[in-house]
Chains A and B, each alone.
Chain A
């Protein structure tokens, strides 16, 4: 958001909108409206930084990640990567772009091809991008990648079904690293794993970031995980960012009523702490993005809602240095 140190910024998103049209009728399809999955989102990620993106289901966090990856085309707005605009680039060019940006998916069961050997899964990005064309180098690189993610190099000829969930997620990470990217979008990378395995994967992601100076967009619904791994955190609600701040500020000085409620809803594994914490129980559930409430999208669930919240939506404002929030009550 600051222009002067643009060289430090790796990913920049300005006013991103992703709408999905909805049609009515079987024979004569009529456009009935848009699902505004992402509705005017702006943020930036510095080199070597991890930006956490949290929100509940339907908040648009996954779609935001996919729009950056050029998997989902954007309706409006601009996305810059490494100083160049990448919105609306041709499919052919997007392929080269993906060498620099990779993705780690949520479900380690459906994101690996069950008919491919682990070595081929990890090696595919290198073949696509014509890296390591020498066969010996190629094999060495795969063994190196397997070791890097804590797997045995001898597992190269096995199939995904022979691995546990945590090991499969390691394979997914090795595949993402194969093309030596600068930027990785992690979409709920640990939410399908058992608690004792989650920590292994979180530590691995942190180690790799340190080793290769990677930049991450870390998408998750678990605020405790996001707070642990991120430098800054953006909170999304119904397609909009409602607050963005450093991990410290977001936890100690949350400004938006939704962030406060979200923080209070995450249980802490300590009965003593729990007994002392304030518990904000929100009314209702996240409304449909097909027909979001007028004004501030959060007003029907907000305990502080006033008349002006129904009349018009607030905009994201810098309330404190590098702490942005969008709420009328902060004016």
Chain B
């Protein structure tokens, strides 16, 4: 089976006064129909920029996609013209952002904003679109959807706004939803509701989903496969079981040891990853993680490792064979 999305050697750089920021520096991954992929990493690791590059939403200047192929549903998204790209956005790929307040227009009713993609992409008439919008709002479990459609975003709570955003994303039945930290701004009980909702929707409509998050836990429950990113590269990828139960990259191991877990009884000390994430405009030579790595050897300081297979679907980019 062909993957729905196949990203090959993507490089997205930003040219700033402080030098070239290699936000994404050679990222390859694929995604099959109905699959959920987690992109995990800390701030500045390039997870959001990877997603924005797929949708060609990188502001230019200062940003530019330098290299790579983005094959989605048989089309190379890097080479199609702007008109075709607009059709892909919204029709085939929908994006859900972290801040539901800043991604909704405060001066238009929620219903109006949900009907907009229907009118543009599905060329529905206004009345028809409004009926459909209410149905979509019901689908994301907004109570009294017909009344709530007439409300403005500020009259919605954070969770409701994110539901409205999801309903907009769903409006043209896309094949792929990219959710960039969709629940980070929300409370845990609301986060649980929304993740459950999104997982249900992808199952019902066999949509693919990319969840971008810094929270290892969020992805554990919902992702089939996980890519761990550090300093613009994927350092480890595999199935959720590979990543969580048999991590092989020192950074992944470090992340696991540094988060307090609710199911851990012992009050043992956390093992933090020492040091700071690197400056992307001024990356260290060799492996970008080497200044923080406790397994570092000389080779790490000289050469940057590439991803290599360590299991059926499991790959890691590290010179050392680390096992927990």
Contact = CB atoms under 8 A, between A and B. Distances in A.
Interface of A: 56-57, 164, 166-167, 194-200, 202-203, 206, 221-225, 227-229, 248, 251, 261-274, 279, 281-282, 285-286
A271 B262 contact: no
Contact of A271 (B42, B187, B220, B260): B220
Interface of B: 42-43, 157, 159-160, 187-193, 196, 214-218, 220-221, 240-241, 244-245, 254-265, 267, 269-274, 276-277
Most buried by B among A56, A167, A197, A206: A197
B270 A203 contact: yes
B270 A267 contact: no
Contacts of A265: 188-189, 191-192
Nearest to B160: A285
Contacts of B193: 281-282
Nearest to A273: B263
Nearest to B272: A199
Shortest beta-carbon contacts, A-B, top 9: A267-B217, A228-B260, A199-B272, A199-B258, A56-B187, A265-B192, A269-B216, A196-B273, A199-B270
Contact of A262 (B159, B188, B259): B188
14 contacts: A166-B276, A167-B276, A195-B259, A196-B272, A221-B187, A267-B218, A267-B220, A267-B221, A269-B216, A270-B244, A271-B241, A271-B245, A272-B245, A279-B196
A264 B188 CA distance: 9
B66 to A, nearest CB: 26
A284 B218 CA distance: 20
A286 B187 CA distance: 9
Contacts of A268: 217, 220, 261-263
Contacts of B218: 267
A7 B254 CA distance: 42
A195 B216 contact: yes
A56 to B, nearest CB: 4
A203 B272 contact: yes
A224 B261 contact: yes
Contact of B190 (A196, A197, A203, A285): A285
Most buried by A among B189, B216, B273, B274: B189
Contacts of A166: 276
Contacts of B257: 199
Contacts of A202: 260, 270
B100 to A, nearest CB: 13
B244 A206 contact: no
A287 B245 CA distance: 39
B43 to A, nearest CB: 6
A261 B157 CA distance: 20
B192 A195 contact: no
Q: Decide if the interface of chain A is mainly helix, strand, loop or mixed.
A: helix
A8 B318 CA distance: 52
A196 B196 contact: no
Nearest to A190: B260
Contacts of B276: 164, 166-167, 197
Given A56-B187, A261-B189, A281-B196, A269 B272 contact: no
Most buried by B among A202, A268, A281: A268
Contacts of A57: 187
Contact of A194 (B157, B196, B214, B216): B214
B192 A224 contact: no
A264 B157 CA distance: 22
A228 B257 CA distance: 13
Given A269-B244, A279-B192, A279-B196, A195 B258 contact: yes
A248 B216 contact: no
A304 to B, nearest CB: 16
Contacts of B157: 285
Nearest to A206: B269
Contacts of A221: 187-188
Contacts of A206: 269
A196 B189 contact: no
B188 A196 contact: no
A248 B273 contact: no
A221 B160 CA distance: 20
A228 B272 CA distance: 14
A202 B187 CA distance: 21
A132 B294 CA distance: 40
A272 B272 CA distance: 24
A200 B277 CA distance: 13
Nearest to B239: A271
A262 B196 CA distance: 15
B43 A224 contact: no
A196 B263 contact: no
A167 B188 CA distance: 27
Contact of A281 (B192, B259, B263, B273): B192
Contacts of B189: 56, 261-262, 265, 282, 285-286
Most buried by B among A194, A251, A271, A279: A271
A200 B192 CA distance: 27
A272 to B, nearest CB: 7
Given A194-B214, A271-B221, A199 B259 contact: yes
Contacts of B188: 56, 221-223, 262, 265-266
